[in-house]
Amino acid sequence: MATPKFAEIKQFILTKVETGEWQQHSRVPSENQLAEQFECSRMTARRALTELTESGVLERSQGLGTFVAGLKSQSSMLAIRNIADEIKDRGHGYRVQQLELKQIQAQAQTAIALGLEEGSPVFYSLLVHCEQGVPLQLEERYVNPQLAPDYLEQDYTLQTPHEYLSFVAPLTEARHTIEAILANPSQQQQLQIEGSEPCLQILRRTWSRQGVVSFARLIHPGSRFRLGGHLTFNR
C-alpha cells in the first residue's frame, strides 16, 4: 500500500530536522514548493505542515512562513492528548518507566478531587515518560476504582494510562491548573534534573459520564517542555 503524500512530506521534514540539516528557526519550504516537489495538491502539503505545527515540530508566522520550532517539546493547553502520540508525532523515540502501581488510601486532596470519602481506596500509578531517552514528564495519577476496576492489572509500558482510561471510561470533561514549581528531591531524581531547575506542573481532573475518573499531577522540566495553543475567534 502506497504511503500517502502528506505522510511522505511529514517524514521528509522530520528527517531534515532530526539530522540537523534544518536547524531551529530555519524557514521550511512553502505549501506551493512542497506541492510541486512531491507532485501533490497544495491542500495535501498544507495538511502535512499543519499536523507538524500542531505537534510542535514547526511554527507558523502569519505573512512570514513556516519555521522549525525551538528545541523544547510542546503540548497543547487546549487539548488532552496521549503523550506517547505527541512524542512519536515529533518523530522521536518514546519510552516509559513504570515506577509504582498500587492501591492506596485517598488523602484529603485526592479524595476531594475524585469525589470520594477521605480514606477510600484509590488506585495509584507513578510513571516517567521519556523522549529520546530523556525524562520529559513525571506522571502521578490517582484513579477512581469504581470507574476503572482493572486499572492495576494493566502494563503501562505497553499503553499509557491515558490510552487505557480513554477506552474504559471515555473522556467527557477535563479541567487543569498550571503552575511553576521546584521539584522535590525524589522528583528531581526521577526527572534527572538539578534542584534549581524550574518545572511546569499540570494538575488535571478528568470526567466520564459516570463521574470523576482520575486526578493527575504532571511535572515537566522547564528546560525541556512548553505549552502552547492557537485560538481562532469568529466575529
If one counts the domains in the chain, the total is 2
pLDDT of residue 88: 87
Q: Extract the C-alpha cell encoding 110.
A: 485526592
Considering only residues 212 and 20, tell me which one the structure prediction assigns the higher pLDDT: 212
Residue 189 clears pLDDT 90, i.e. is over it: yes
Same domain? For 146 and 214 the reply is yes
Indicate the average pLDDT of the chain: 88
Same domain? For 140 and 217 the reply is yes
| Mean per-residue pLDDT, 47-52 | 89
Same domain? For 87 and 49 the reply is no
Same domain? For 63 and 86 the reply is no
Percent share of the chain, pLDDT over 90: 60
Mapping DSSP to helix (H, G, I), strand (E, B) and coil, where does residue 227 land?
strand
pLDDT classification of 205: cutoffs 50, 70, 90: very high
CATH number at residue 37: 1.10.10.10
Same domain? For 46 and 157 the reply is no
pLDDT of residue 38: 93
What does the alpha-carbon distance between residue 94 and residue 105 come to, in Å, rounded to a whole number? 32
Domain-terminating residue out of 14, 43, 68: 68
Cα four-point dihedral sign 37, 40, 42, 45: negative
Cβ within 8 Å of residue 111, ≥6 positions away: 117, 118, 119, 120, 122
What does the alpha-carbon distance between residue 14 and residue 51 come to, in Å, rounded to a whole number? 12
Same domain? For 88 and 135 the reply is yes
Same domain? For 184 and 86 the reply is yes
Q: Burial-class residue 123 by CB neighbours within 10 Å (0-12, 13-18, 19+).
A: buried
pLDDT of residue 184: 96
Residue 74 lies in a domain: no
Cβ atoms of 150 and 184 within 8 Å: the answer is: no
What does the alpha-carbon distance between residue 104 and residue 119 come to, in Å, rounded to a whole number? 9
Same domain? For 91 and 174 the reply is yes
Range of the domain at 125: 82-225
For 69-122, what is each residue's pLDDT tens digit? 765 555 555 467 889 988 888 888 999 999 999 999 999 999 999 989 999 999
For 26-49, what is each residue's pLDDT tens digit? 889 999 999 999 999 999 999 999
Residue 131 lies in a domain: yes
Domain-terminating residue out of 35, 68, 101: 68
For 140-162, what is each residue's pLDDT tens digit? 999 999 999 999 999 999 999 99
CATH number at residue 141: 3.40.1410.10
Residue 234 clears pLDDT 60, i.e. is over it: no
Q: Is 177 left (phi over 0), alpha (psi -120 to 50) or beta?
A: beta
| Mean per-residue pLDDT, 198-205 | 94
